[in-house]
Amino acid sequence: MDTSETYIKMCDCPEIQEYHVKLPKLITNGLGSNCQYYGYTNKHVWLPRQDQIQEMLNYGIGALVNDFEEFCVCKLNMLECPDDFPKTMEQLWLVFYMWEKHSKTWDGKKWVKK
């Protein structure tokens, strides 16, 4: 599970934090065992796991694999992400999610509309 400062910043956006509210089955007594929250600038930020990001896409398994492969092979280099990015699978899947669902890319500091 990625708990890096970069991933926390990437997850600290309305598109991800508001989505967590839509997943009540993940919450048990507030901060359940299926949730990852990390303190960041005096607030808690939900950090979705890779499988949760895949669930958020709401694609069938075939479409998920095909679209993810196409994204990695054809689009990732065109998004003008920082050179050493993404560093983890969670970061990669989050970049894919934000591109697919919100037409945004990570510039190293924030999500920007493309």
Query: What is this structure's pTM?
Result: 0.80
- pLDDT on residue 20: 77
- pLDDT on residue 44: 82
How do residues 52-107 score in pLDDT, each as one tens digit? Answer: 999 999 999 999 999 999 998 888 777 766 666 789 999 999 999 999 999 999 98
Residue 46, φ and ψ in degrees, nearest 5: -75, 130
How do residues 9-34 score in pLDDT, each as one tens digit? Answer: 999 999 999 887 765 444 333 444 44
Strand (E) or helix (H) holding 9: helix 5-11
- pLDDT on residue 77: 75
Structural domain boundaries in the chain: 5-113
